[in-house]
Structure 1
């Protein structure tokens, strides 16, 4: 597999073309950001940890029947993925109240949400990823009605699979965001799943084991990511 030109550089990942037009290389950098890029740092081993964490989760989801863009690990900080036409809508599932839901609605942090809630956000840092709905998404051409229906169904399938994995490891899957894209007409889960884009709490102590440690200046960010990984079976060596 020949690595070619860089196509895109996000806040924490870079995407490279390959000699196969249907496949890309996703490079996980050590960069860490919060608040739409206002807080930036480099954390040693972050790229390696998120790459291997994501590979484990994507493989488990694929085994459960969720179509994913992940193909295979290429190295400590790189994975091979299918090229997707990404939909600019983030799908957020919440099992417990935290983050934006608490700020917007004054809900007590940690309140269990049953059934889980589902929200859509426009992926746009300049606008601070505003909350949108299905009607707006369809009218403005962000996604089709069918794509939104499939994304919602897949988001809850992911919830079913991952809630069980984390629960068995003594971890609460508080909330998470997913991004989807289209490959040869099929909707697939893209981007990544790691503690960067999910809230994960220890089930007994409610200790935060995710990116909130970086947002809130709690320290021990990568150590927390690795702790979650070890509990669910990720190998980082």
Structure 2
């Protein structure tokens, strides 16, 4: 399928006009998102191919259990056909375990199970560092309505249940993840759907294999650690590993 006009290019993906009205072609790049340690994107060979397959796996799975997403079908090794959506400028982060920013802010040791999944909102503005915001900010600045927020939380928690179960089945703990949500119109009716991607770039994943012993030499209960070569290992465990893709890298973690 021939590409059309470029609509948008981000750190990890390019969007092109789709073959039909209301569709886009989403191309997965090999570039990794910048971090504090590496401010410029770095190319990781094969990452785009793996993230395309992994996002297809998760999005198609969500569609099959009634969670609406923008995903229509995979076109080739690096491209997907997706629905065009109006992206709400608020990232939704769901946390199951303390890690990263929440550990720093609240002094909770990393790896501590949270009493229930915690949903946070981050304003999508890279110039500001995608800051944490409250519901009051989101509603006051008209980024989303109260009904939108209620629907976003319900959507995010359904995604969390699905992803946590899938990951647990292959020996991986889902510590936290981020979602982008978009609006689509079906006639006069507006609905919210999961957009962008679901891949190791948007999840914090810990390896639970090798923990069967339960304790280390000092008798301290073991905690899972990050997956080595997260893209390849996750694709392999889920059975979506394309042939001829091998590399070693680390995931981009949520703050």
TM-score clears 0.5: yes
Aligned to 2:192: 187
Distance 2:34 2:105 in 1: 19
Aligned to 1:35: 35
Bigger mean CA offset, 170-179 vs 197-206? 197-206
- Greater C-alpha radius of gyration: 2
Distance 1:159 1:39 in 2: 30
Aligned to 2:252: none
Decide which structure has greater strand share.
1
Bigger mean CA offset, 4-13 vs 17-26? 17-26
Distance 1:114 1:158 in 2: 18
Superposed CA deviations along residues 78-118 of structure 1, whole A, max 9, x for unmatched, are 10000000000000001111111112112100001121111
The reply on whether 1:235 has 2:241 as its aligned counterpart is: yes
Distance 1:22 1:79 in 2: 14
Distance 2:81 2:19 in 1: 12
User: Residues 204-219 of structure 1 correspond to what in structure 2 (within 5 A)?
Assistant: 204=211, 206-209=224-227
Contact 1:181 1:188 survives alignment (8 Å): yes
SS of 2:95's equivalent in the other structure is strand
Q: CA RMSD of the aligned region, Å?
A: 1.4
Count of matched residue pairs? 225
SS of 1:153's equivalent in the other structure is helix
User: Residues 44-193 of structure 1 correspond to what in structure 2 (within 5 A)?
Assistant: 44-184=45-185, 185-193=190-198
Aligned to 1:22: 22
Superposed CA deviations along residues 143-166 of structure 1, whole A, max 9, x for unmatched, are 111111111001000111111111
Distance 1:164 1:232 in 2: 12
SS of 2:240's equivalent in the other structure is coil
SS of 1:16's equivalent in the other structure is strand
Distance 1:35 1:127 in 2: 14
Superposed CA deviations along residues 8-44 of structure 1, whole A, max 9, x for unmatched, are 0001101001231210000000001233782421000
The reply on whether 1:201 has 2:210 as its aligned counterpart is: no
SS of 1:42's equivalent in the other structure is coil
Aligned to 2:246: none
Contact 2:184 2:192 survives alignment (8 Å): yes
TM-score of the pair, normalised by structure 2 = 0.85
Unaligned runs of 5+ in 1: 210-219
Distance 1:48 1:143 in 2: 33
The reply on whether 1:6 has 2:6 as its aligned counterpart is: yes
Distance 1:93 1:118 in 2: 5
1:225 Cα deviation after fit: 1.2
